Amino acid sequence: MQAQISKVETNLKRVNFGIKGGFNSVLYFANKVEIGDETFNKMQTNYKVSEFVSAFMRINLKKDFLQPEIAYHVSRGDILFNKNQNSTTTTTQDIAVLSSKITSIEMPLLYGHYIVKKSNYGMTMFFGPKIKYIWKSKSNTSFNNFGYDNIKEDLYQYSVNAVLGLGVNISNLFFDFRYEQGLNNISKTISAVDKETGNPAYIKVNRTASQLNFSLGFIF
């Protein structure tokens, strides 16, 4: 019995490595969009399913663990709004769409706890911060029906997310579900040109990202 207990404790203190891949769905939330001298506050957000891959190290501390990760993410999503929403004379909708594809390198540092720890089965909960590096050359944003030409967005290179999740493992196979909330505005500046005058035009969007991830992986 004592030998069995010692074996379990030794396994809990070891360092594990793992790989995983899966799907994410992102909602880009904007509290307002400013175009010229007009402000729009009523937004609709659409998510699109995208993909990611990740590698991690798990440092076991009895029933707790630390888990640094590095991941490659592709995230897609739309923000839609009616440009006639402020009008008192028309109910006709004139929809503008901001569509994003953002490629990023992401580095979470998670603190976790084993809710259940058996020989071939386990359940964990975890949380922590994540630093997100946006790969600008592989990211793009399109602006449809904004009324200006040559619209280009400059994203902040780094952003910070808060992560909360649950994991289940059956032997070396595990399932991971997590929710992430962006903590800062990702849109730095947006440049545009007025179609009629050729002068610079004003567009501003304050938006954050909320994300769900589901992954399947192997830990060894």
pLDDT tens digits, residue range 202-219?
A: 999 999 999 999 999 999
Has residue 14 got a pLDDT over 90?
Answer: no
CA pair distance 59, 57, nearest whole angstrom: 7
**pLDDT for the residue 5:** 41
Using a pLDDT cut of 90, give the percent of the chain over it.
82
> Which is it for strands 95-117 and 64-82: parallel, antiparallel or unpaired?
antiparallel
pLDDT tens digits, residue range 97-155?
A: 999 999 999 999 999 999 998 878 999 999 999 999 999 999 999 999 999 999 999 99
Helix (H, G, I), strand (E, B) or coil at 62: coil
CA pair distance 146, 208, nearest whole angstrom: 20
Domains of the chain: 2-219 (2.40.160.20)
Whole-number Cα distances in Å, 105 to 55, 69, 118, 216: 12, 10, 33, 19
> What is the H or E stretch that residue 163 is in?
strand 158-170
Band (pLDDT 50/70/90 cuts) for residue 196 is: confident
Tokens encoding 82: 């009616």
Radius of gyration over alpha carbons of the chain, in Å? 22
What is the pTM (predicted TM-score) of this model?
Answer: 0.87
Q: Report the number of secondary-structure helices (H) and strands (E) in the chain.
A: 1, 12
Phi and psi at residue 5, to the nearest 5°: -60, -45
**pLDDT for the residue 92:** 92
pLDDT tens digits, residue range 151-190?
A: 999 999 999 999 999 999 999 999 999 999 999 999 999 9
The candidate with the shortest Cα–Cα distance to 177, out of 130, 141, 202, 214, is 214
Has residue 192 got a pLDDT over 70?
Answer: yes
